[in-house]
Amino acid sequence: MLIERQVLILQSIVENFITTNQPIGSKQLAENIDFSSATIRNDMSKLEKEGLIRKTHISSGRVPSEKGYRYYVDYIKKEYELSNSENEKLKELDNDKYVSENNYLEKNAIILSDLTDCTAVILAPTKTDRRINKIEVILLSSRSILVILITSIGEVFQQNYKLDADFTAEDIAEVNKLLQSYFYDVDMATAHVIIHGELEQYLKDKVNNYNMIVVALNRLLQNKIKKTIALGGKYNLLKQPDIDNVDKLKEVVSLLEDDKIVELLDNNSDSEELTSIKIGKELALENIDDLSLVSSKYNTSKGQGIIAVFGPKRMDYSKIMTLISCVRDNLNNNLK
């Protein structure tokens, strides 16, 4: 455990680096902390041995290590008080609460990104218990089908599909036999997997041109399980000095694709906790360990969604958590 003085020194190093992106030495710390440079140097040495701070080169000051950021987030971070301008910016959301859900989510994401100078992501709410009650294929003509999907919460989706080959009533009966057998009370994502496994193999043996039916079913399911994403400040990450070479830039651009963002949030949002903070290597990104993700769940009558801010490890965690909390309360109250 750190003593109080060492905690104060670590806090000062972290917060200085968040603000300046520059290492700090004992003399500079002594200007703001009421201890001698010698005492501070001694404690910095201990903090370095604990792996909480590090030198950028042999004669430099210190910067936080990943372990240091984690200690700061878990044990030190202080409450952040919003400024008048930040409060005014957040109030703009009240003026737009009657627009469409997608536009409202986008406005929240844009304001969150503007206030953090990071990339903000909001996943639209989805029912966590959304399961399939029934899928049925109806033959409208030899080259036209209607696919109907009914969920456990009473939603009904249907879509017409034109086919490039003839199908018979017997073909469609074979399809529906399997759908009735395998898809009752199955969650939407699992059904997507089944289509490309058992269903596809079965139809291959039973129905000519089976792949057309698979494509139709797949399209309907994909449209209904795809999560809606609102993105703010998509390229704010690319402006960060922490992303300092072309390879990192390419990786970040790739991460900002919709499917990868959803996967990132699904993999890094703690299932037990309301708010989750993943720092550097904790994100398990193959070629980047300079980024952090702060995410939080919000709940509406339409289900549960996720708010997240994606930025450099030296992000202002206290400020970002406070702003995410404000946006979460806003969505909980206004997204019906």
Structural domains in the chain?
4-76 (1.10.10.10), 84-118+233-334 (3.30.450.40), 131-223 (3.30.390)
Name the pLDDT band for 2 (thresholds 50, 70, 90): very high
* pLDDT given at position 114: 96
Q: Which helix (H) or strand (E) holds 8?
A: helix 4-20
Q: Where does residue 280 fall: left (phi above 0), alpha (psi -120 to 50 degrees), or beta otherwise?
A: left
Would you call 178 helix, strand, or coil by DSSP?
helix
* pLDDT given at position 115: 97
CB 109 within 8 A of CB 121: yes
pLDDT > 90? residue 263: no
24: DSSP letter: B
274: DSSP letter: S
pLDDT digits (tens, 9 = 90+) for 244-254: 777 777 777 78
CB environment 231-241: b (16+ within 10 A), e (fewer): bbbbebbeebe
* pLDDT given at position 10: 97
Report the pLDDT averaged over residues 22-50. Answer: 93
pLDDT digits (tens, 9 = 90+) for 61-100: 899 999 999 999 999 988 999 999 999 999 988 877 677 8
* pLDDT given at position 174: 86
Residue 286: closest CA among 315, 250, 258, 320: 250
Choose between 332 and 199: higher pLDDT: 332
Name the pLDDT band for 192 (thresholds 50, 70, 90): low
Per-chain mean pLDDT for the chain: 86
Residues 6 or more apart in contact with residue 171 via CB below 8 angstroms:
139, 206, 207, 208
CB 172 within 8 A of CB 147: no
CA distance 146 to 144: 7
Give CA separation, 84 vs 88, 137, 232, in Å. 6, 57, 22
CA distance 114 to 179: 47
Task: Give whichever of 102-111, 250-259, 300-309 has the largest mean pLDDT.
Answer: 102-111
Residues 6 or more apart in contact with residue 165 via CB below 8 angstroms:
143, 208, 209, 212
CB 219 within 8 A of CB 225: no
* pLDDT given at position 88: 94
Report the pLDDT averaged over residues 218-240. Answer: 79
Name the pLDDT band for 129 (thresholds 50, 70, 90): low
pLDDT digits (tens, 9 = 90+) for 7-21: 999 999 999 999 999
* pLDDT given at position 190: 74
